[in-house]
Amino acid sequence: MSNVTTHTLFEALSQWRDAGWIRSIDLAFVEFLQQAGERSDAVLLAACCVSHQAGRGHTQVDLKALMDAPETLLNLPPENRHAADCALPSELFKQYGLDLNDALAASQCVDLNGHGTEPLVLSEHTLYLRRYWQYETFIEQSVQARMQDRPVINDELLKSTLAKLFAPTENGDINWQRVACANTVRNRFSVITGGPGTGKTYTVVRLLTALQHQALTLGLPPLRVSLAAPTGKAAARLTESIENELEQLVQNDKLSSLKDALLSIQPEGKTLHRLLGVKPNSRAFKHNAENPLRTDVVIVDEASMIDIEMMTALLKATPKHARLVLIGDKDQLASVEAGAVLGNLCAGADEGHYHSETAKWLQNIADTPTFPSELIDDKGEQRLQHVVKFRKSYRFKGPIADLANAINRQDDAATQQEIEKAKAAEEDYPVNLYEVSSLDDPAFEALIRGSLTLHVRNNADTTTDANNINEIAHEALQNLSNFQILTALREGPWGMKAVNQKVGDILGVNANTWYEGRPVMVTKNDYGLKLNNGDIGIALKDPEHGHLRVAFPDQEHGVRWILPSRLTHIETVYAMTVHKSQGSEFKHTVMILPEHDSPVMSKELLYTGITRAKERLSLVGNKLFSQGGKRV
């Protein structure tokens, strides 16, 4: 451990940067404040911390938590990056941060009311970078304005439409999907949240039908609808799901009176970047407050992945008259970028907090049983009158769901019970446990080799026919959803990079070079190639010319081909982090958990990773399944 008193603060922070504890931009921000005249080491240290937290997805820093437990709050030192030369955060705060609150209040670089231009904003005991303060303030004001402005609707028409679209519930249960439709038609801003298999996409089609039927019956033109998701894969899944559900409804003779409304629905999902129109080499979008989208309804799926900057852009581009509907699982991980927008909007939704007036209207229009008294709260926030949580899963059931739900409830006893069931079960049980000491363990190698052989090697064996190369590529891309390895971390012996390297060794290839069958993920938006962060492709041999090309899914043409030399920001993706897996599902998911406790090992990360598995879940780690269920 270093003697921190022999270092200036800047030298200590430079050591953090050199050891990989913080980013270069965090240190550059400190330099910028010094050049702007800031002389307080306490302010500079806090500024470095708030910048570091922004890089970890947090929009602000709670000063009390920062002073009480800086290592825990900042996740420093990071996993597998302990450095003997670096002072711990608590050491720096003991030397430089004792007068932190007074120093921030007196600093010329800190704004105390949010109305100035200073780079930092202090609100009570919370410190923000100005940009994120502005985003949060705008989102709050915009959402409030949309909640106060209700569209004109015909209640009785809506009630009769919902009766046709939804079958009566059994056992007197509330049909929350029907409630969500009623609530969304009634409001200009709405949130629908629910876990896997709760019928969110099922509800979207019926919601669009109800909205279109309202417009057409009132003599208005069909509503212009924009469907979007944060990633290309999520947008494609949204489109496919709506198309399948729409086809069934159109063929239903009982819905003949709604056929015009059904036929007016155009189920084309886009990425948010494509919807808003990316300006090359810029953070700005073509559609904004001055040039809003030409739309009447905006529905965004997988909204848990929306960061605070994207939400700001979306609200600016959505016309004030349009309905904005966010759909997603509030219990999943928040965006990799800063801000947990959906989670914040849904805070308290488990308990309902519906006003009596809200509940009465929804019960009448949705023709549903009386809301339980525990969901009624006349002092509930106005925000929660616009949120509906789905409380029943129709598809996601069984041992994988039971484990995920136990973790989400933080029920240690139930979690341990599910782990014990998996330990005692036969090989074909949906949840499998692999307690291994390292990635070199023969049990891990056998698991990976057996799973990968089914689809990775087949991709390389079937690319000889030039006539159907697009079909082969499409099938190869589809096969990538059969099996996926997920990790909690990027670095370290249990991290994504190490796992990808190990899989390459198992397959007899260098995982980070180009070869036939290599799956890759785009790690940075490439506006020239029209590729977004998170897009996944696979390298296949061109049967006509013999060289490798990378196939990516394309909404318009099915498959698009790009030469490997043009891809500058990609990484092999046999394994990906749980964060990157959001919006995807895999038949068999292997989730690798780190050896030691880490702040990233939250219930949200575990829940998100486990719920990516559709049919089989394999949990891999070292001594993780015998600790009272607290780690898994």
The one-letter code for the residue type at 46 is: A
548 within 8 A of 540, measured Cβ to Cβ:
yes
Q: How many C-beta atoms lie closer than 10 Å to residue 462's C-beta?
A: 15
For residue 462, say whether it is annotated as part of any ligand binding site: no
The 8-class DSSP code of residue 74 comes to H
For residue 464, say whether it is annotated as part of any ligand binding site: no
Cα 100 from chain centroid (whole Å): 34
How far is it, in rounded angstroms, from Cα 518 to Cα 452? Answer: 12
Q: What is the per-residue DSSP string for 290-305? A: SS--S-SEEEESSGGG
- The number of helices, as runs of H, and strands, as runs of E, in the chain is 24, 20
The 8-class DSSP code of residue 264 comes to T
For residue 221, say whether it is annotated as part of any ligand binding site: no
134 within 8 A of 76, measured Cβ to Cβ:
no
How far is it, in rounded angstroms, from Cα 118 to Cα 37? Answer: 12
For residue 194, say whether it is annotated as part of any ligand binding site: yes
For residue 200, say whether it is annotated as part of any ligand binding site: yes
**Token reading at 207:** 């919601």
Strand partners, 278: 285
248 within 8 A of 496, measured Cβ to Cβ:
no
- Rounded to the nearest 10 degrees, how much is the dihedral formed by the CA atoms of 611, 617, 620, 624? 60
**Token reading at 354:** 């519906």
How far is it, in rounded angstroms, from Cα 177 to Cα 83? Answer: 52
Task: Give residues with Cβ within 8 angstroms of 575, minimum separation 6.
Answer: 484, 485, 486, 487, 496, 499, 500, 503, 592
Q: What is the per-residue DSSP string for 1-43? A: ---GGGS-HHHHHHHHHHTTSS-HHHHHHHHHHHHTT---HHH
For residue 537, say whether it is annotated as part of any ligand binding site: no
For residue 197, say whether it is annotated as part of any ligand binding site: yes
**Token reading at 375:** 């969901």
Q: State the pairing for strand pair 536-541/548-554.
A: antiparallel
Q: CA angle, 446 as apex, 483 and 492 as ends, to 5°? A: 75
Give residue for tokens 């009596």: 356
Residues making up the annotated binding site for ATP are 194-201
Residues making up the annotated binding site are 194-201
